[in-house]
Structure 1
Amino acid sequence: MRLSSMADYAVVMMCAAARHCGCHTADRPLLSAQQLAAETGLPAPTVQKLVSKMSAAGLLKAVRGARGGLKLARPAAAISLADIIEAVEGPIAMAACSGHGRGDCTLEGACMVRPHWPAVDAALRGALSGVSLVQLARPAQSFHGALSVAPAPIPAELPA
C-alpha cells in the first residue's frame, strides 16, 4: 500500500502550512502558494492544484486583500491525516468493491471477503484519523513515539 504522489505532496504542503499557523500578524501577511512551493520544493502548479483541493475540502482558507493569503481553515489539531488523504484521493477504500459503487471484479458474485472490506476501511480510516496535522508538522525527533496505534488482536481461530 502506498499513497499517491499527490496525496503525499498534500501532506507535505499541509505540514508546511501548519508550521506557519498562528505566526501571521499585522506586520506579516498570511502564507502564499508561492511560499508553500518554495518551502516544500513542490512545483507551483502542483501547489495551486493542492490548494484548490484542500480549500474545497474545508482544510485551507483563502483570505483576500492586501494582507491576504492562505491559512488553515481550522486548528491543525483538528485536521487529521485521513482528512488530507481523502481531500485528494476520495473516501478511503482498500479494495475497489469496498468503495462507493461496484468494482469490475470477476469474483464479485461469489466473493466471501467483500462484506468485510467496510470494517477494514473503517479501521484504516480510524488509524489515519488518529494522526493530527500537529503531530505531522513536528520535527522528526519530537515525533518519535508520538503515535500509539495498537494493532487489533488476531484471533487464533476463525469463527465457524
Structure 2
Amino acid sequence: MLRITKITDYGFILLSHMANQEKNLLHNAKDLSAAIGIPLPTVSKVLKILTQGGILKSHQGSKGGYSLSRPAKDITAASIIEAVEGPVAITDCSSAEGCERNCPVSPSWQQVNSAVINTLQGLTLADMSNS
C-alpha cells in the first residue's frame, strides 16, 4: 500500500487551514495547534520542514509567524510532498536511472511513477482546501 507519512498529512492539514484564512494573516505554531488539534511540538516540526522546503515563509519578531510562500493556487501537492519527504518515487526502481538491478520491470514503474507525479502536480493546495 502506498502511503504518505503522518508528518506530510499534517502538513497538508496545516497548509489547507492557512490557505482558508485571510491572505496576509500570519500564523504561529501555538494558534495552529489549538485550531487544528495537532500537538504543538508536531506543528512546530512541520512548520520548520515546510519553511525549509520553500512552501512557507517565516516572519521573525514579536508579531511574526508563518505565511504561504506563494498563493495556494501555485502550490502543488507534489511540491508539498517533495518538501517533506523528498522526490516522489513509489519504488527504488521508479527513478529515472532505475535501480541497481536494471531489470525489465523498471520502465513500467517509471511510467506509473510519472502518472502519479503528473497527477500530484495537477492538484493544487487551492483545489484541496477549496480556497
TM range (shorter): 0.7 to 0.9
**Does residue 75 of structure 2 align to residue 79 of structure 1?**
yes
- Deviation string, structure 1 residues 131-151 (Cα, Å, up to 9, x no partner): 111111128xxxxxxxxxxxx
The alignment's TM-score, normalised by the length of structure 2, stands at 0.87
Q: Counterpart of 1:22?
A: 23
- Segments of 5+ residues of structure 2 without an aligned counterpart are none
CA distance in 1, matches of 2:40, 2:107: 42
Task: Please say if 1:67 is aligned against 2:63.
Answer: yes
Deviation at residue 65 of structure 1 after TM alignment? 2.1
Q: Against the structure 1 CA distance between its residues 122 and 41, is the aligned structure 2 distance closer, same or farther, given a 3 Å change threshold?
A: same
Match of 1:135 among 120, 127, 131: 127
- Is 1:118 aligned to residue 110 of structure 2? yes
Matched residue SS, 1:71:
strand
Aligned to 1:99: 95
Deviations 1:79-126 (A, max 9, x none): 01111111111111111222387768xxx25x2111232232221111
- Larger Rg over CA atoms: 1
**How large is the RMSD of aligned CA atoms in angstroms?**
2.1
Question: Per residue, is there more helix in 1 or in 2?
Answer: 2
Q: Which among 48, 52, 60 is matched to residue 52 of structure 1?
A: 48
More off after superposition, 60-69 vs 73-82: 60-69
- TM-score, length basis structure 1: 0.72
In structure 2, C-alpha distance between the alignment counterparts of 1:119 and 1:100, rounded to whole Å: 10
Percentage identity across aligned positions? 35
Segments of 5+ residues of structure 1 without an aligned counterpart are 25-29, 140-160
Q: Is the 8 A contact 1:91 1:99 kept in 2?
A: no
